[in-house]
Chain A
Amino acid sequence: MSGEAIAFYVLAAVTLGSGVVVVTSPNVVHSAVALVPTFLGVTGIYVLLSAEFVAVIQVLIYAGAITVLILFVIMLTEGGTGIRARQRNEQGAIGAAVAAAMAGLLIAVAVRTPWARLPGTLPTYTPGAIGQSFLGPNLLVFEGTSVVLLVSLVGAIVIARKEE
């Protein structure tokens, strides 16, 4: 087993393990904090795939900003840090079965697919190249994303605005 493979399995285990904590912990703060290793595990996989820029963004935005934002929201909520909610319900068994079946099917898909090894080099994921792509071939997507963000802003304002 190559070093890269070992690194992948370790990162995957970290991601999955902390992900399980996120959805099972009875304490919301624990759940929020457990997001950090999940995001970092994904970051590691980006690095393994030589997508350094995305990895950096992942750390900055997700592991950094978003987790902090979530924690702020929890603390600003009345009694937020004290909420202990049971995360499991009567659907637990069904959920486990469905998840197992889904995993099995996806693994079967991956195994049965003949993976073609394409010749050539990976594209460069430098900030410059990404910027070129956003303002070049992906311009429409870039513009469209801004519209979606505008909608999110309007939506947040509509929902959070004070009553008159």
Chain B
Amino acid sequence: MRAAILIPLFPLAGWVVNGLLGDRWGRRAVAWVACGTVVAAFAVSLAVLARLLALPPGARSAAVVLYEWIGTGSVRAPLGLLVDPLSVALALVVSGVGALIHIYSVGYMAGDEHIARYFAYLNLFMASMLWLVLAGNLVAMFIGWEGVGLCSYLLIAFWFTRPPAAAAGVKAFLVTRLGDVGFLLGIFLAFAVFGTTDFTAMARAAGSRLPLGGPAATALALLLFLGATGKSAQLPLYVWLPDAMEGPTPVSALIHAATMVTAGVYMIVRMHAVYLRAPLALDVVAIVGAATAIFAAAAALAEPDLKRVLAYSTISQLGYMFLGVGVGAWSDGIFHLTSHAFFKALLFLAAGAVMHALGGETDMRRMGGLAGRLPATAGAFAVGALALAGIWPFAGFFSKEAILSDAFRAGRVWLWAVALAAAGLTALYIARAFALVFVLPPGEGSAGPAGCREGDAPRAAGHRGLAPGAEVADPPPVMRWPMGALALLTLLGGALGWSAARPGVLARWLGPLLAPGALRSSEGTHGSEAALAAAGLAVAVAGIVLVWLVYVRRALRVRSQAVQTVLAHRFYVEDFYAAAVVAPVRAVARWAGGFDRAVIDGAVVGLARAIGGGGAVLRRLQSGYLRHYAALALVGVLALLAYWMWR
């Protein structure tokens, strides 16, 4: 099992090699190193999977301790890995999808002069992400947790010469860091409660150390969930993800759809023993998940920018995953995570292919009728869209239905209803996007808010949008093959979770590890299962038909201006943020920094009047702010004295 350490080490080596030598090598060497290390990580993951399969189901868990990392008094944390069915499953998804996206990047970034830096960051991200899923305790996981955040920041701001990109990177980092404070405090609380943050030890001791529903369990679960809301872009910390689309599209596919943003879901499943002791926190998780699912789906509906539609869609789908784990359906949460990784990566890669063809255009209002000119891309996008909408037999159908039926069977009928409505919206927005980009003739876009976003690719100087007679073609094979592979996975992925007799393959694989969830009645009859699935399917189909009626046939028109406006402003949440959070922070920063500017300037002017003469040196030396500093210190002295007198 010690070989598992190689999984994050390979991409790390790729980072070191490409980061240091990449500029001196040719593009081909850089690409080979970057892709090779990730493929190697995938291969090692497969080997580890084989080793685990050879073991009896109860013994498929091994701790690999590298060495004692932190060790003082009550705080002890070894630097180590935990190799078990859950971490290996995640490692396979991350390295597999990661490898495909690396290969796609070779074609997508072919024209960029900083390709070595790009691949170095991407490899560092892979190393951090693989470390995150393999880490054996919370502190070790935090390394990966921060590492992926750092790489996300670097990659969003990859084209940092464009102000929106730089600002988006900063925004992403700051907002997720807010969540990380919760995570960090959760680590401390875990130390206080368990004396360790080792996952296995915590799972074993949770029953005895954490009273059911007690404040310690609830606080720990909620603090960790705060970290998850930041990293996984849930309400109310989701605001960074749509802006993160300023990064290159493969980055959006890898980090902001398939892997990093799902870290919060993984972490909760990893800590499920703690969450089982805190029913209140689980309810919070489920409610936040359902609310995010419907809110983000609605926001996606009014978005004119293709990548931002997909970003809101990701937020919404992450909400489903949280809803799933919130009702205790751990393995179905992971199932949806996996199938979402497949189909959302596919959608992003297809969107990237569209942008590739259109010179970086992302505004759907300037697209249209591309199905004929980009047949392969349109096909890939259609597969992803159908999976996202939840149409049988694509992977998304199975995983989404699993979560919906879990919510229903857990007795959370309201949450089920919300999620079902969100499923309808999902079908609606993705069908709308498909119609706008591929079906409708150009210029027939909906009346969204004005002001399109900056384009994606840096080489967008030439033609943007659909110029008549411009050459528009499907991407080169190096980009088409990964899309094909993901489309295949999207088609077949459903087999992981759905079988005639539940639990499915994935649930049985994870089974020994995950304590049964909080599902109230786990015996669903086949009849009710089928009815639930039919309901979900019916809603999805209804959504698609509605789009067909509204956009293609023009049979229905959304007339209400008010509904359009509210949707276009994403329910005003970002405006509220700007007014209530960002502006005051900026103002305070400006005040604190401007404080001594003001003091200095005021003092210089005042002294110039006071002295009138004297040399320039004298004026500078005795510029007067010394006395201000001294006065400040004296006030401090007084405060200290007064404190001691009247304490």
CA of A67 to CA of B641, assembled, Å:
33
Question: Would you call B631 and A98 a contact (CB within 8 A)?
Answer: yes
Would you give the 0/1 interface string for A20-57, flagging 1 where the beta carbon is closer than 8 Å to chain B?
00000000000000000000000000000000000000
Question: Would you call A98 and B635 a contact (CB within 8 A)?
Answer: yes
Residue B611 lies at the interface, judged by CB distance under 8 Å to chain A: yes
Q: A108 — which chain B residues lie within 8 A by C-beta? A: 645
Partner of A109, one of B606, B635, B637, B645: B645
CA of A28 to CA of B627, assembled, Å:
19
Known contacts A94-B631, A105-B645; is-contact A89 B638 (Cβ 8 Å): no
Q: B624 — which chain A residues lie within 8 A by C-beta? A: 89
Partner of A101, one of B610, B611, B631, B638: B638
Question: Would you call B634 and A89 a contact (CB within 8 A)?
Answer: no
Would you list which residues of chain A between 82 and 98 have a CB under 8 Å from chain B?
Answer: 85-86, 89-91, 94-95, 98
Question: Would you call B631 and A95 a contact (CB within 8 A)?
Answer: yes
Q: Min CB distance, A41 to chain B, in Å?
A: 24
Question: Would you call B637 and A102 a contact (CB within 8 A)?
Answer: yes
> Which range contains the number of B residues in contact with the other chain?
10 to 19
Residue B461 lies at the interface, judged by CB distance under 8 Å to chain A: no
Q: A86 — which chain B residues lie within 8 A by C-beta? A: 610
Q: Min CB distance, A39 to chain B, in Å?
A: 23
Q: Min CB distance, B615 to chain A, in Å?
A: 10
Q: Min CB distance, A95 to chain B, in Å?
A: 7
CA of A95 to CA of B632, assembled, Å:
11
Q: B628 — which chain A residues lie within 8 A by C-beta? A: 91
> Majority SS of interface residues in chain B?
helix
Residue B642 lies at the interface, judged by CB distance under 8 Å to chain A: yes
Q: Min CB distance, B560 to chain A, in Å?
A: 62
Would you list which residues of chain B between 598 and 622 have a CB under 8 Å from chain A?
Answer: 606, 610-611
Question: Would you call B637 and A89 a contact (CB within 8 A)?
Answer: no
Instruction: Kindly report which residue of chain B lies nearest to residue A86, judged by CB atoms.
Output: B610
Would you give the 0/1 interface string for A83-127, flagging 1 where the beta carbon is closer than 8 Å to chain B?
001100111001100100110011011000000000000000000
Question: Would you call B634 and A102 a contact (CB within 8 A)?
Answer: yes
Q: A105 — which chain B residues lie within 8 A by C-beta? A: 638, 641-642, 645
Instruction: Kindly report which residue of chain B lies nearest to residue A101, judged by CB atoms.
Output: B638
Q: A101 — which chain B residues lie within 8 A by C-beta? A: 638
Instruction: Kindly report which residue of chain B lies nearest to residue A95, judged by CB atoms.
Output: B631
Partner of B634, one of A85, A90, A98: A98
Q: Min CB distance, B607 to chain A, in Å?
A: 8
Partner of B627, one of A91, A102, A106, A109: A91
22 contacts between A and B (CB under 8 A): A85-B611, A89-B606, A89-B610, A89-B624, A90-B606, A91-B627, A91-B628, A91-B631, A94-B631, A95-B631, A98-B631, A98-B634, A98-B635, A101-B638, A102-B638, A105-B638, A105-B641, A105-B642, A106-B641, A108-B645, A109-B641, A109-B645
What 3 pairs across the A-B complex have the smallest Cβ distances?
A: A105-B641, A98-B634, A101-B638
> B residues within 8 Å of A by Cβ?
606, 610-611, 624, 627-628, 631, 634-635, 637-638, 641-642, 645
> A residues within 8 Å of B by Cβ?
85-86, 89-91, 94-95, 98, 101-102, 105-106, 108-109
